[in-house]
């Protein structure tokens, strides 16, 4: 080390110490920049290898006459690295793999002996086995200080709550011991990682996981896919879904930021929060909402396995009815097992047995949410300009369609424009999604997804709205229920028959008969027009 430069001897895997070569890097250089320097120094041998495809370890290999012609290789066993052969009786610390964001100047604070190799270099093979890929560690990504917390873990009085939550003992050892076929290899150029990216919010975490995990797993296991919820028939707006086809869903994934889920031991943290909640103690709600959310998704879709991740930390979930097991925290740069090994293991489990019956309903601790009949909906406020604007627009539209509408007396018009309190009653309560057999995805709008389903022996259109992700859509869904009730006499004539509506956890659903035709507005009476406007 001299001034602002650090001098290090490097050795490539499989070469004798007599081939060690020196590199010099500045005080502020990272391991990622060190890899670029090594690639340049080893030209033309490394010309066809990208710098990020080099793995480097911190070592301490003395170069002495007795070992200078001995080839050195790195072996990984159960997540532990060792340099072979043994160093002829001389002390040699265990190799430590370095991350791209590490700063060598901070790592090698002491002066390096001139006759010692400090960096061991291993190029990624051009053809990788499945196990080779899964042993790769994710790069470290930085969080910006201005990060935004997740706003999509809304709790519900109808939330599906686990009957018990416990640790998934043995998970890490099982994931590390999983063996994979050696018949297939993957081109190393198909495997990629992003290193220079800042995490800000949930969307950026999704992008990082997509780039560093889901992209690579989709190439390792081409017959399966981790993709978006809109590619499947899943109930709810899940962040990611593991599936084989639109109807064949195997596992779900929910993504949070470290600010919205600041927890190391998720199972213990949740149980402590629930115990404090039962004692009416005020504690920060760090685990309850996110866990109830993903547990609800698992139950609604009758799935056994799920994943909850912040990129830095990941938890793997296993549901048996109302019971939930949670793995220990798996960090993005885990060695034994790696995060990719854990994903592959749970994908394997979900392929074998993805289904678990819906959890038993949880008793509501409080009354159901108020519906539009309470008169407190902000859209019903006569002092709200949006109320008048929406009402006036609707009346003008009716006037254009209905002959002679604007010729009503001034008194009648004033009566129409006077703010009214709605007297419709949106009768909603609990609704159990496991009673519906989803058959086909019909379409999706801004607020909801619509499926063809069977319920109590008849075919219905099931409209589901994810209030976990979009709580602001609740009033709109309740108004739709109120509208069906207001137009009860037209059901089966101009509009479909209304069947049932209600909450299951954070999912609000409306079931109606499959529409025969759109609403025939010209057939509505004057009073029915007013009901539509009021609702």
CATH number at residue 411: 3.30.200.20
Q: Given this model, what pLDDT does residue 75 score?
A: 79
Residue 45 pLDDT > 50: yes
Does a structural domain hold residue 85?
yes
Residue 146 pLDDT > 60: yes
Nearest to 103 by CA among 30, 183, 33: 30
Does a structural domain hold residue 411?
yes
**What distance lies between CA 1 and its chain's CA centroid?**
45
Note whether 468 and 506 are within 8 A (CB). yes
More confident residue, 359 or 306: 306
Q: Which of 86, 107, 124 is the last residue of a domain?
A: 124
My answer on whether 391 and 432 are in the same domain is: yes
Q: Which of 86, 104, 124 is the last residue of a domain?
A: 124
pLDDT (tens digit, 9 = 90+) per residue, 176-208? 999 987 778 898 888 889 887 889 999 999 999
At 486, the pLDDT band (50, 70, 90 cuts) reads confident
* Mean pLDDT on 309-335: 96
Q: Which parts are annotated binding residues for ATP?
A: 463
At 357, the pLDDT band (50, 70, 90 cuts) reads very high
My answer on whether 180 and 320 are in the same domain is: yes
Q: Given this model, what pLDDT does residue 367 score?
A: 40
More confident residue, 141 or 2: 141
> Taking the CA atoms of the chain, what radius of gyration do you get in angstroms?
30
Does a structural domain hold residue 263?
yes
Does a structural domain hold residue 255?
yes
- How many domains would you assign to the chain? 3
b (16+ CB within 10 A) / e for 1-18: eeeeebebbbbbbeeebe
Q: Given this model, what pLDDT does residue 242 score?
A: 98
Residue 54 pLDDT > 80: yes
> Do β-strands 73-77 and 80-84 pair in parallel, antiparallel, or remain unpaired?
antiparallel
Q: Is the peptide bond before 434 cis (omega within 30 degrees of 0)?
A: no
CA distance 501 to 462: 9
Does a structural domain hold residue 360?
no
Q: Given this model, what pLDDT does residue 395 score?
A: 37
Q: Given this model, what pLDDT does residue 92 score?
A: 54
Q: Which parts are annotated binding residues?
A: 463
Q: Given this model, what pLDDT does residue 405 score?
A: 39
Q: What is the residue range of 395's domain?
A: 367-535
My answer on whether 279 and 148 are in the same domain is: yes
My answer on whether 157 and 198 are in the same domain is: yes
pLDDT > 90: percent of the chain: 45
Residue 503 pLDDT > 80: yes
Across the beta sheet with 21-26, what order do the strands follow? 21-26, 5-12, 116-123, 54-62, 96-97
Does a structural domain hold residue 362?
no
Nearest to 310 by CA among 507, 147, 166: 147
Task: Name the burial class of residue 72, with classes exposed (0-12), middle (13-18) and buried (19+) by CB atoms within 10 angstroms of its CB.
Answer: buried
CA distance 206 to 152: 14
My answer on whether 212 and 183 are in the same domain is: yes
Beta strands in 245-321 (DSSP E): 249-255, 305-309, 313-320
Q: At what angle do helices 266-278 and 288-300 cross, to 10 degrees?
A: 100
Q: Given this model, what pLDDT does residue 319 score?
A: 97
More confident residue, 130 or 382: 130
More confident residue, 411 or 100: 100
Which tokens belong to 124? 């990624």
Residue 375 pLDDT > 50: no
pLDDT (tens digit, 9 = 90+) per residue, 5-25? 888 999 999 898 889 999 999
My answer on whether 346 and 380 are in the same domain is: no
My answer on whether 388 and 482 are in the same domain is: yes
Q: Which of 84, 107, 124 is the last residue of a domain?
A: 124
pLDDT (tens digit, 9 = 90+) per residue, 269-299? 999 988 888 887 767 778 988 999 999 999 9
My answer on whether 313 and 374 are in the same domain is: no
Q: Given this model, what pLDDT does residue 382 score?
A: 34
My answer on whether 158 and 264 are in the same domain is: yes
My answer on whether 450 and 345 are in the same domain is: no
Which tokens belong to 295? 């547990």
Q: What is the CATH number of the domain that holds 87?
A: 3.10.20.90
Q: Which of 84-98, 118-132, 265-279 has the lowest mean pLDDT?
A: 84-98
Q: Given this model, what pLDDT does residue 463 score?
A: 96
| CB contact set of 486 (below 8 Å; sequence gap of 6+) | 424, 528, 531, 532, 534, 535
CA distance 308 to 297: 12
Residue 436 pLDDT > 50: yes
My answer on whether 450 and 393 are in the same domain is: yes
My answer on whether 249 and 312 are in the same domain is: yes
Residue 524 pLDDT > 80: no
At 401, the pLDDT band (50, 70, 90 cuts) reads very low
- What residue has token string 């063996």? 179
Q: Given this model, what pLDDT does residue 17 score?
A: 87
Does a structural domain hold residue 11?
yes
Residue 247 pLDDT > 80: yes
Coil, strand or helix: which one is 267? helix
Does a structural domain hold residue 326?
yes
At 84, the pLDDT band (50, 70, 90 cuts) reads confident
State the chain's mean pLDDT as an integer.
81
Residues in the chain: 535
DSSP output for 347-401: HHHHHH--B-PPPPPPPPSSPPPP-GGGS--GGG-TT-HHHHHHHHHHHHHHHHH
At 388, the pLDDT band (50, 70, 90 cuts) reads very low
């Amino acid at each position: 080390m001299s001034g602002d430069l650090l001098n290090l001897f490097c050795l490539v895997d499989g070469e004798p110490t007599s081939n060690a070569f020196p590199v010099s890097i500045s005080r502020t250089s990272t391991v990622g920049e060190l890899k670029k320097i090594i690639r340049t120094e080893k030209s033309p041998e490394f010309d066809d290898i990208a710098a990020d495809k080099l793995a480097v370890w911190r070592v301490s290999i003395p170069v002495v006459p007795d070992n200078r012609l001995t080839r050195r290789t790195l072996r990984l066993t159960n997540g532990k690295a060792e340099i072979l052969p043994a160093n002829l009786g001389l002390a040699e610390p265990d190799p430590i793999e370095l991350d791209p964001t590490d700063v060598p100047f901070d790592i090698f604070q002491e002066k390096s002996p001139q006759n010692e190799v400090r960096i061991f270099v291993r190029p990624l093979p051009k053809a990788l086995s499945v196990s080779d890929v899964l042993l790769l560690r994710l790069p470290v990504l930085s969080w910006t200080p201005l990060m935004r917390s997740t706003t999509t873990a809304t709790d519900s009085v109808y939330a599906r709550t686990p009957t018990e939550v416990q640790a998934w003992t043995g998970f890490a050892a099982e994931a590390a011991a999983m063996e994979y076929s050696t018949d297939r290899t993957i081109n190393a150029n198909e495997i990629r990682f992003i290193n220079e990216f800042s995490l800000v919010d949930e969307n950026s975490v999704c992008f990082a996981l997509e780039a560093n995990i889901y992209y690579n797993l989709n190439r390792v296991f081409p017959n399966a896919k981790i993709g978006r919820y809109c590619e499947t028939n899943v109930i709810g707006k899940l962040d990611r879904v593991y599936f084989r086809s639109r109807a064949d869903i195997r596992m779900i994934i929910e993504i949070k930021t470290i600010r919205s889920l600041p927890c190391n031991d998720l199972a213990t943290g949740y149980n402590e929060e629930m115990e404090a909640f039962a004692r009416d103690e005020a504690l920060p709600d760090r685990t309850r909402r996110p866990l109830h959310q993903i547990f609800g998704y698992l139950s609604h879709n009758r799935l056994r396995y799920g994943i909850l991740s912040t990129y830095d930390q990941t938890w793997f979930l296993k549901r048996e009815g109302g019971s939930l097991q949670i793995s220990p925290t798996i960090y993005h740069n885990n060695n034994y097992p790696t995060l990719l090994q854990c994903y592959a293991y749970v994908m394997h489990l979900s392929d074998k047995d993805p289904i678990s019956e819906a959890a038993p309903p949880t008793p509501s601790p409080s009354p159901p949410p108020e519906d539009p009949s309470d008169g407190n909906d902000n859209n019903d406020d006569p002092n709200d300009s949006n109320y008048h604007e929406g009402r006036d627009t609707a009346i003008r539209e009716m006037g254009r369609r209905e002959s002679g509408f604007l010729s009503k007396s001034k008194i009648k018009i004033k009566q129409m424009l006077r703010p009214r309190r709605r007297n419709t009653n949106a009768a909603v309560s609990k609704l159990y999604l496991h009673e519906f057999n989803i058959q086909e995805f019909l379409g999706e709008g801004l607020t909801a997804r619509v499926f063809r389903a069977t319920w109590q022996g008849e075919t219905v259109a099931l409209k589901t709205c994810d209030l976990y992700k979009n709580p602001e859509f609740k009033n709109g869904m309740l108004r739709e229920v109120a509208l069906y009730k207001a137009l009860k006499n037209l059901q089966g004539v101009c509009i479909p028959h209304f069947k049932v509506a209600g909450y299951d956890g954070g999912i609000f659903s409306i079931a109606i008969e499959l529409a025969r035709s759109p609403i025939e507005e010209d057939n509505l009476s004057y009073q029915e027009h007013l009901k539509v406007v009021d609702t």
